[in-house]
Chains A and B, each alone.
Chain A
Amino acid sequence: MDRNSIEKRLNDQKDLLSNLVKKAKTNGIDQVEIYSSYGYSEDVSLEKNDLNNCTANEENMFGIRVIHEGNQGFIISNHIPSLYQSIEEAYSLAKSQSTPDLDLVLPEPESIQNHFNQYDDSLDSMGIEDLVASAKEALGWRNDLYSKVNIDSGDFSLSKGYKLIVSSKGVMAHELGAELSASVMGMGVDGDLVGSFDYDSASGFDKTQFQTLWKKAFMNFGDKCMGALYAKPISGFQGKVLLPPEAVYSFFLGLFIGSLNGTSLRKGKSKMAGKLGEKVASPLLSIWDDPTNDRFMGSTGFDREGLPTSKKSVLTEGVLETYFYNTYEAKKAGLPKSNGCATGGAQSLPGCGPKQLQIAPGKSSKDEFLKLPGKTLFVNRISGTKDGASGDFSGVIKGGYLLENGEKIPVREVQIVGNAFDALNQIEAISKEGELLGESSFVPYMLLDGFTITGVTEE
């Protein structure tokens, strides 16, 4: 599968979907939207320090949304010959409902300014052989440098495809994409000693970018597994936690970002309701969303509704500046139109959220954090739970360290409890250094104070 064949398929499908939408309108179905997601991928998987499987998959999924007098039906299908029947089924689902909301309409089209080309033609000369070579190289790194690290599973993938949206309101947008990606999961094992699971991943637009990022990610994975191997229990304490970028993003900030979702706000489930323009976090924290930077993986010129994306400030020195809306939620909030933040793909209805969050770096050096006096818990990863409404989170620390008097002691059986909204004001310092998570979101290290840390040993 190469660029030419994907482009031909895309062009044929634009015609097919446009005709289906026209046919639907002719038959009295006024509001229909079809989101198409096509992907072809070749994968090589690892298991137990060995090659496991080679696979090739191709699929085209369609998300069909029909709105009829304020009611909505949604069908997801991968069967092209029956797409028109699926439109009729979605229409039937919409008609079967009795709770209309006339704010529920498909958006009017808008001009898209940013046109992305995230398909590097050099990937067309690659195939499974190259993925097998990458797998061989990674197994060599494991054997030569990390013989005590067991690779439980790993995956190398070359994927290509497109997304396309067509609607009866005149929305028509598409983008091609291709990438190389890899991930690895495993743990350190030394005799009877077993360390915590850890993982890392990388992706790139082309082979050179991918290879550089993947090698770095693999070494990071190996170091994390080895670091967790000789962990021991500690006693609990109240105090500071140091969060690396992954932990900042996945656990602590995720709850806050979720509370800015237009749907949560409308339903009264967000603690950030009515806080626009107010200080809700430490002045050290500034965040923006930028899906328009073509150096990032996954950047895009249009959202799930085919409307243009844009750069927007979320939090400036602790002051809340925006919420995230799709067309429906914007209408419910009394706004003239959405702010291009409809999320999702063919397999989901449009949600609301950011695409490429960026967190402003701070002024501290992360190395300073490692040498702080007293006790600091380095939270590599939290295996736990979080509650979107209250903001409460709790979990077990995985691959973490107790930083004490310049020493770095790997720990196990340690729990942390906190609240994401309180934590926004518990930030003591933010590092200059950070990581580009998923090659798309810049996130620095953060030092926070005032946490309850539970351990199993007595003082």
Chain B
Amino acid sequence: MRNLLRECLAEESGFVELRYHHKESRSFFAERGRVESTALRKRTGVGVRVLEAGTWGFASTSDISKSSIQNAIQVAKKAARLSSALRKEKIPNLPKANFAIGDFIGKGIEDFRNRTVEEKLKLVLDIQNAAAKQSAKLQSVGCGYSEIYEEKAIVTTDGADSFFSMVRPEFRVSAVAKEDGKMESGSHSIGVTGGWDCLFRSQSPTEISDEACKTAVDLLSSSLPDGGLSTVILSPSIVGLLVHEAIGHTVEADFVLSGSVAQGKIGHRVGSDLVTLCDSGYSEYYEGAGGSIPVDDEGVIPTNTVIIKNGILSSYLHNRETAERFGVAPTGSARAWEYGDVPLIRMRNTFLMPGNSSLEEMIANTKDGYYLDGAKNGQADATGEFMFAVQKAYRIQNGKITDLLKGVTVSGLAFDVLQNVDMVSKEFKWDLGSGHCGKGQPAKVDAGGPYVRTKVLLGGK
């Protein structure tokens, strides 16, 4: 594929970027004793981006032939020329980057190819059947396995020339419990970049299922916490949501240029000394983080970007265009979901670095607060105000965990929450790999870190 793309660029002089993308998504889902759905989604095409007359033009084609790709280049050039008259701030050029050259084959691909459809169907059916028998209160248990295999080739007229591939499996269980007309749901999921062994390394399918079912049943006897500003210990999944939603989005350089709360704050204190925050294309500390990428969608080798160092804001996340504007090197953060999508600045694996405390010490040192666990969803605002939803909130009283409460939503101002971090654990975990981040288009990301104690606004009664 790299050869074909290079041929298409042979006579081009300006900046042209060709991105071939083939994606196969398989999913298997069982509920109520039978396989409810099996699906295979295949999508292939080439996205063409040009920089001409100081602006971008983009076109895409699902026809992987030289003539069709070259036609798309001409369509993209025409689009760029048409828009140039309106664009005020022209893009003069793109900076040099650490381009990926060669083939980068991800881990786990052989494993994914060698496992049969029957094996995957048996997994979801067996787990679902066993789980449904656990409690008479369980109304329904659904079990799903999915995997996304992707291969990409990126060739540009200024030096990028790579092929890379990866596979991302996910496993999820969701349960609904019912008692006296009350219904509650619980879910648990994991997702990694790598093979089946990597997926089930820290928890077996049965353990994942048990956790989802137990949450649904336990929540039947829970009530809402008291609303208000509270001291909380966040589990790694919640820390992941916090650093992704509350900080990560505000430091994406396109949001910064639009006026996010992080604008002009490089070199300023935005968190306590205990806070060192990174976003990496690699899987730091523990193999298999779900947002790992060998190459970004501009053909750049991704870095481990230190966003906050000991509480001081030190970097934004950049693509090539914003790196030029800020006079820094690209961080390898340009990502596109499908071949027909223009690459955007996106997080990869966002994490807080571990500290020196243990979780036990943190709980023992908390007189009045909550332990929050089980990430659901989250969103952030340009203001730095964020919200994330949690499944479970455990009351902490006098250094001991007591009642289980409904998790509801948690919110705060990003930098206030980081300033209030006063304990960080030694333990570390990636725990957001089964989700997607939305920003105009989806992206597979991961996030995590240690256990963290801070203050947030808890929604409640």
Residues of chain A touching chain B, judged by Cβ–Cβ distance below 8 Å, are 42, 44-45, 47-48, 50-61, 71-79, 86, 89-90, 92-94, 96-101, 128-129, 132, 135-136, 139, 150-153, 186-187, 189, 194-197, 236, 267-269, 271, 347, 349, 383-385, 387-390, 392, 394-396, 398, 412-413, 415-417, 452, 454, 456
Contact = CB atoms under 8 A, between A and B. Distances in A.
Contact of B340 (A57, A139, A189, A267): A57
Contact of A413 (B121, B139, B413): B413
A56 B89 contact: no
Contacts of B406: 392
Nearest to B376: A385
Contacts of B257: 48
A60 B58 contact: no
B385 A54 contact: no
A262 to B, nearest CB: 13
Nearest to A347: B41
Contacts, number: 248
Chain B, interface residues (CB within 8 Å), range: 35 or more
A195 B260 CA distance: 9
B185 A387 contact: yes
B83 A93 contact: no
Contacts of B60: 55-59
Nearest to A189: B259
B140 A268 contact: yes
Given A56-B76, A195-B383, A394 B228 contact: no
Contacts of B459: 394-395, 415-417, 454
B111 to A, nearest CB: 19
B185 A99 contact: no
Nearest to A187: B382
B264 to A, nearest CB: 8
Contacts of B75: 56
Nearest to B84: A51
Nearest to A229: B383
A236 B228 contact: yes
B117 interface: yes
Given A72-B37, A390-B184, A54 B259 contact: no
B255 to A, nearest CB: 7
A86 to B, nearest CB: 8
Interface in B329-367: 340, 342
Contacts of B183: 269, 271, 389-390
B58 A454 contact: no
A361 B343 CA distance: 43
B292 to A, nearest CB: 26
Contacts of A47: 254, 258
B185 A53 contact: no
B93 interface: no
A74 B40 contact: yes
A454 B226 CA distance: 9
Interface stretch (B28-36, B153-161, B283-291, B424-432): B28-36
Given A56-B79, A100-B34, 11 more contacts: A47-B254, A98-B125, A132-B83, A132-B86, A187-B381, A268-B139, A389-B184, A415-B411, A456-B228, A456-B229, A456-B457
Nearest to B255: A152
A151 to B, nearest CB: 8
Nearest to B55: A51
A128 to B, nearest CB: 5
Nearest to A385: B389
Contacts of B227: 236, 415, 417, 452, 454
Contacts of B80: 54
A73 B41 CA distance: 11
Contact of B58 (A55, A101, A189, A269): A55
Contacts of B41: 75-77, 347
Contacts of B31: 267
B86 A135 contact: yes
Report the 6 A-B pairs with minimum CB-CB distance, sorted nearest first: A385-B389, A54-B79, A99-B34, A454-B227, A415-B459, A76-B41
B205 interface: no
A268 B253 CA distance: 46
Nearest to A388: B185
Contacts of B387: 383-384, 395-396, 415
B59 interface: yes
A101 B229 contact: no
A179 to B, nearest CB: 18
Contact of A194 (B88, B121, B382): B382
Contacts of B385: 196, 396, 412-413
Contacts of A71: 35
